[in-house]
Copies of this chain bind each other. A is one copy, B any other.
Amino acid sequence: VSQRSLKIKRFVESDPPTRGAPRLMQIPRPYALFLGAADDPGWAKTAFGLHDWVPESCVAEIALPACVVTTGLPRVSVQEAIRMGARAMVIGVAPVGGRVEPSWIPALVAALEAGLDLVSGMHTPLGSVPELKAAAEKGDRQLIDVRKPPANLPVATGRKRSGQRLLTIGTDCALGKKYSALSLTRAFRARGVDADFRATGQTGIMIAGSGIPMDAVVSDFLAGAAETLSPDAPVDHWDVIEGQGSLFHPAYAAVTLGLLDGSQPDVLVVCHDPRRRDILGCPGYFVPTIAEVIDLGLRLAQRVNPKVRCAGISLNTGGMDPAEAENVITATARECKLPAADPIRGGAAFESLVDSCLSG
């Protein structure tokens, strides 16, 4: 018997049988933002991100007495938050290690008992905390872990789907791919374009109220998860997909490639921080040039969508003064022969980037 023909037979036949379609999480809104006992805004990044991006979905903040951080929302009791319309309390604070702090538990239990669902991006699954599990079961409330991918994700098929897709990719991790995708979605909508932000990380999922945490997906199903995240859509519809990792990051490039393959992007926007020299967490690895990322990104994306193009560059100029930022933006556009902009600074440069994205 030929081992090779057996291998092929087995490969084709051993795929797990269809087990029903995956169900993407849908987080009830609006939110009350839980700040714990945060003593520095750095710990409350999730709360700030939600307040910035979906202010219409954030009605109040809830905190322990020791908390010295505020989002600017009214600080209220659980009962008041519910009267203000809150349907879920989001843990908007993350201490080192990403665990649920014992000191939070009475407040979290109180929220569940009062009728709020509880939403978390912590490493600790909410259901693994006995007090939370009991309170959720008793009150029939949901414990929503945004780090947990849906069940039944399929293996990717590679089939081309209808609709338009934009994916942000980066010269490194953590330099603005989510912000760029959110800004572009907002700008598309401002022009009357039917667009959805597709979230692939925990903060993005809380902002969107839905999504798939790509880095938590088992690798066999990574591209399939990305296919699930941006299904067939009307031809004029845009999915603006939050990028993850970087093709040049030695630890996370696989996540980036799986997301790229399943997204079948029509448009790439490259995100870059001009001050970043080394790949985050990998000493000795240098951040690639924008040109290298465009070249490799397009080459890999062409495998799944031959029509893919790079529409421009989203620069993170946070902390630069306006003149310095404008210099960097202008120089980058000239060097790459593509529109470049900092979406947070906006202006004509950003409108040109939006034009370029939509001009396909």
- A residues at B contact (CB < 8 Å): 1-14, 16-17, 41-42, 45, 48-49, 52, 94, 96-98, 123, 155-159, 173-176, 178-179, 214-220, 222-224, 248, 250-255, 257-258, 261-262, 273, 279-282, 284-285, 296, 299-300, 303-304, 316, 318-319
Contacts and interface: CB of A to CB of B under 8 A. Distances in A.
Those 3 A-B pairs whose CB atoms lie nearest each other, nearest first: A254-B258, A158-B250, A156-B251
Contacts of A155: 251, 281
B218 A216 contact: yes
Contact of A223 (B5, B42, B250): B250
Given A16-B123, A253-B257, 7 more contacts: A3-B179, A4-B316, A5-B318, A7-B45, A157-B282, A250-B262, A254-B255
A13 B123 CA distance: 12
Contact of A214 (B175, B219, B296): B219
Nearest to A42: B9
A45 B179 contact: no
A3 B17 CA distance: 43
A94 B173 CA distance: 41
B285 A158 contact: yes
B174 A7 contact: yes
A3 to B, nearest CB: 6
Nearest to A319: B2
Contacts of A4: 175-176, 179, 273, 316, 318
